[in-house]
Every structure is written in C-alpha cells, then in structure tokens.
Amino acid sequence: GAVVSQHPSWVICKSGTSVKIECRSLDFQATTMFWYRQFPKQSLMLMATSNEGSKATYEQGVEKDKFLINHASLTLSTLTVTSAHPEDSSFYICSARARAGVETGELFFGEGSRLTVL
Amino acid sequence: RKEVEQDPGPFNVPEGATVAFNCTYSNSASQSFFWYRQDCRKEPKLLMSVYSSGNEDGRFTAQLNRASQYISLLIRDSKLSDSATYLCVVTLNTGGFKTIFGAGTRLFVKA
C-alpha cells in the first residue's frame, strides 16, 4: 500500500524555538496532505489542509502564523511550529491522499511526530 | 450534533468475545466510509473500508446503512492484539475530499 513517511518521530525543544516536521509520500504523488494534532486520549484534530502549490487551508482556531505549512512538491509537505511553547506539546500526524485517478477517500498516515516543548 | 459519533467506550471484553462498534454520521452526502485502528502513540491505520453491501475480512465485519446513516464494525473471537482505539471515518466530496473522524472507541481485550 501507499507509504507516508514523517520525520522526526520525536523532538524535544526549548520554549521559543521553532520546529519543522516533514511529511513525505514515498510511492505516490499527493496533491493534498493533512496535518492533525492529537492530545492524549483524544481523537485526531484536523489543523490544516495542505495543497500542493497553493496556500494551506486552516481549520477554525488554528493560528496560521503559528503553524506554518508548506507543500512545495507533490511528495513533501512541512509543518513548522514557530516559537513553540509547552502547550504546543502534542502528537502531530500528517496524512496524504493519492492523486486524482485513484481517489477513494482513503487516507495514508505518517508515523506521527511527538513534540515536547520544555 | 457531531458530524461523526461513536460509542464513547471504553469496551472491556474477555478474549474470544464478540465486540460491536457503532457509528452514526450526520451528512447524508457522505461518500466513503472507513474503520481505522489506532494503537497507543501510533498513527491510525486503515482496518477496513465499508460498503453498502457489507464486507468481511476474517474476524472483522463492517456494515453500512445509508438510510439510517449508520456504520458498524463487528469483531468476532477477539484477541489480545485487537486492543486499540477504533476510529470511524467518513469522507465527503465537496469539491475536494473532506475527511471527518469520530472520536474513537477504545477497546481493551483481556485474557
């Protein structure tokens, strides 16, 4: 099946620093990628939809200047948490949908990135 | 009302039990339906797509009732390794796919 790789898996950083998380589709082209965050014992919360070659669409309540998303190619989207604070500590997961032509609605998930801000 | 609602759980069952998960969705224009499984501190993984005709994969059976806007997942002869959170996922195509996750139902299978 399709593979989505996310990096890094774990990151610990000091408050005030910025952290970049990468999401790559390894064997298919992803016109659309999604970024989620998940707090312990809670479900996934969609943060934003990343569209290749255009600006990301952010969900209500998600600060676009705080969570910068770049989808520069059909295989890579990045999420940068700027000036991270302890409340940004969470599990961040990306997912991708294959390019039109194999649209089933199925999502392929990255392995997730656990961010801890000290 | 939430767009996708699931049993709140958790479910605690003994090995060998049959477990049923229920899910309802609010948007009648929903197109695709899935069950995902998520282990603790891991990403969700597709368990099954759900079709109107119903589908079965080994011990797992998924059913969809479009009229009632209801989706189910049945696990027979549950194993310890089935312990996880089960997510009901619905997709709309509103000019682009929108995926909506249920909150998930946690399952604990005990020896």
| Chain B residues 44-63 within an 8 A CB cutoff of chain A | 44-46, 49
**Nearest CA distance, A6 vs chain B (angstrom):** 10
Farthest CA pair distance, chain B: 47
Q: How crowded is residue B61: how many other Cβ atoms within 10 Å of its Cβ?
A: 18
Cα–Cα nearest to B107, from B19, B43, B5, B36 = B19
Series of mean pLDDT values for 10-residue runs along chain B (111 residues)? 89 97 93 92 90 91 95 97 95 77 94 94
Chain-centre distance for alpha carbon B108: 15
Residues of B in contact with A49 (CB under 8 A): 96
Beta bridge mates, A4: A25
What does the block give as tokens for B99? 């995926």
Q: Is A75 left (phi over 0), alpha (psi -120 to 50) or beta?
A: alpha
- The pLDDT score that the predictor gives to residue A104 is 62
Check CB contact under 8 Å for A112 and B42.
yes
User: Would an 8 Å CB–CB cutoff place A13 in contact with chain B?
Assistant: no
| pLDDT mean over A91-113 | 78
Q: pLDDT tens, A3-50?
A: 899 999 999 999 999 999 999 998 888 878 999 999 887 888 899 988
What does the block give as tokens for A57? 């669409």
User: Would an 8 Å CB–CB cutoff place B12 in contact with chain A?
Assistant: no
- The pLDDT score that the predictor gives to residue A99 is 58
For chain A, percent of residues with pLDDT exceeding 70: 92
Check CB contact under 8 Å for B91 and A34.
no
- The pLDDT score that the predictor gives to residue A103 is 55
Angle (CA) B11-B15-B17 rounded to 5° is 65
User: What SS3 state is found at A95?
Assistant: strand
- The pLDDT score that the predictor gives to residue A55 is 86
- The pLDDT score that the predictor gives to residue B68 is 94
Q: How far is it, in rounded angstroms, from Cα B28 to Cα B106?
A: 26
Per DSSP, which regions of chain B are E strands?
Answer: 4-6, 11-14, 19-25, 32-38, 45-50, 55-57, 60-65, 70-75, 84-93, 97-101, 105-110
* Closest Cβ opposite residue A44 in set B31, B34, B101: B101
Which residues, 6+ apart, have CB-to-CB distance to B38 below 8 Å? B44, B45, B84, B85, B86, B87, B104
- Contact B104/B6 with Cβ under 8 angstroms? yes
Q: Is A109 left (phi over 0), alpha (psi -120 to 50) or beta?
A: beta
Q: pLDDT tens, B97-107?
A: 678 889 999 99
What does the block give as tokens for B23? 């899910």
